[in-house]
Amino acid sequence: MKEKIDLKQFEGITKGKWSIIRNGSRIDIGVGTPDSYSPVITFTESLADAVMKIERDVADMNAIAAVPEMIAELKRMYQRENELLQSIGEWGMVICPRSGQWFEWDYGCQSESCVDEEDCRELVEQQNASE
């Protein structure tokens, strides 16, 4: 299974909602109101006009400004996934670390890609032990 993104590395980012702020002929991505804000990223005056005319650059700016919301949403999704996996695990179902397919613990992994391999339940136990 693909590793989750380590969200701890982003804990130091500027707090608050980021937005795109036109400041005269400059563009800033910042936190606050257009009258009073802390810039996170500044586009120089010479770049600002060019950036606003390029659809991809505007999309990139919107994506950058949405980073804190996306990190917060991803954090919620990781928590929800953990809760769901725990609930599903309580019903006796687990995900095979080799094939990524669900299987019922009591019957063992039935995936075709695992049929000639060692018991996938051992992989699950090793994975759980390392978490």
- For Zn ion, the binding residues (CB under 5 A) are 96, 98-99, 109, 111, 114, 120
CB neighbourhood size of 65 (10 A)? 18
Question: Which residues are bridge partners to 22 per DSSP?
Answer: 27
Q: DSSP letter at 10? A: G
CB neighbourhood size of 72 (10 A)? 12
- Considering the complex, what minimum distance in angstroms separates the CB of residue 89 from Zn ion? 16
- Considering the complex, what minimum distance in angstroms separates the CB of residue 98 from Zn ion? 4
Nearer CB in complex with Zn ion: 42/111: 111
Nearer CB in complex with Zn ion: 21/114: 114
Dihedral sign, Cα of residue 12, residue 68, residue 27, residue 39: negative
- Considering the complex, what minimum distance in angstroms separates the CB of residue 97 from Zn ion? 7
Nearer CB in complex with Zn ion: 43/99: 99
Three-state SS at 118: coil
- Considering the complex, what minimum distance in angstroms separates the CB of residue 110 from Zn ion? 8
Nearer CB in complex with Zn ion: 40/109: 109
Residues in Cβ contact with 124 at an 8 Å cutoff, skipping those fewer than 6 apart: 94, 95, 96, 97
